[in-house]
Structure formats: C-alpha cells, structure tokens
Amino acid sequence: MKCRKALKNDLPDIVRMLADDTLGSKREKYQDPLPDFYYDAFKEIEHQRGNQILVATENEQVIGFLQLTFIPGLARMGMKRAQIEGVRVDNKHRGKGIGRKLFKEAITLAKTEGCGLVQLTTDKEREDAHHFYENLGFVASHDGMKLIL
C-alpha cells in the first residue's frame, strides 16, 4: 500500500467511497459521469495552499482517503493545526490497517508542516470510527457544532 496526493482521475473512486454508507448515501451523488461540482471542489482543494486529499492505493487502485488541511491560527500562541475530514476506506479493504497507515502519513505531514495538533470531526452516529480514532490516540476533548447553510 502506498500513500500519495489525490489526482483528478481518482475522484470517481473517492466519491464512490463517500457515498458507500448510510450517511454518505444521503449526502453524496455518485453517478457516471460525476457531477461537475466534485471536479470544481477538487480544483479548489488543489489550488489552496495547505489543503489536500491523501489517498491510499494498492496496485494503483484507490482503496482509502482522507482530506488534510493545515490551518494557521492565533490561539495557542499562534499554533498551526491539521484538520482531518472525510475519512473513508473501501468496504472490501477494511480491517487491513489502511486507515491507520493513512493517519500515520497525515500525522507525519502535519509534523513536517509545523502543526502542534491534529484535529478531526466525526459524526456521532459513527461509533466504529470513534473507537478507531481513540485507538490512534485522539481524545474527544471538545464538542463540535455545525450550522447547515
């Protein structure tokens, strides 16, 4: 398994994985061809400094991914943070350590970027994900809130 930055051609696999669960199937629109809004969003991510999609591949096939964003801040004496979002591993490849390897790579990139902490949000319904993150050392220290616009 290898980790690398996502390419435009990876989008169908990425969106398929986003849509491949109970919550994602309500939020995403996986179809062939993909709607342009996914390509537009990917282009924005590519052009924004400190924002990337990190993919895990096996035999050149995308089998997992996460979005990693570096956020400069004033709080905590100007500490830079890494934000992880949209974590998915292909259903056929779960339980093989792929998520752990993706996180290890993301944390290494965050350290290289000078981040003082890595944070993430996860839906309250994703109890298996909560256990996974806790096993990686993440602590549920804050409550997150969202306002849907």
List the CATH number of the domain containing 127.
Answer: 3.40.630.30
141 part of a folded domain: no
Residue ranges making up the domain that contains 97? 2-135
62 part of a folded domain: yes
149 part of a folded domain: no
Q: Is the pTM of this model over 0.95?
A: no
Task: Tell me how far CA of residue 36 lies from CA of 11, 65, 118, in angstroms.
Answer: 11, 20, 31
CA angle 2, 64, 3 (to 5 degrees): 20
**Domain total in the chain:** 1
142 part of a folded domain: no
124 part of a folded domain: yes
Sheet containing strand 115-120, edge to edge, reads: 2-5, 51-58, 61-71, 80-89, 115-120
148 part of a folded domain: no
53 part of a folded domain: yes
Tokens 């306002």 belong to 147
Tens digit of pLDDT for each residue in 91-124?
A: 999 999 999 999 999 999 999 999 999 999 888 8
86 part of a folded domain: yes
Tokens 């062939």 belong to 32
Tens digit of pLDDT for each residue in 73-91?
A: 999 999 999 999 999 999 9
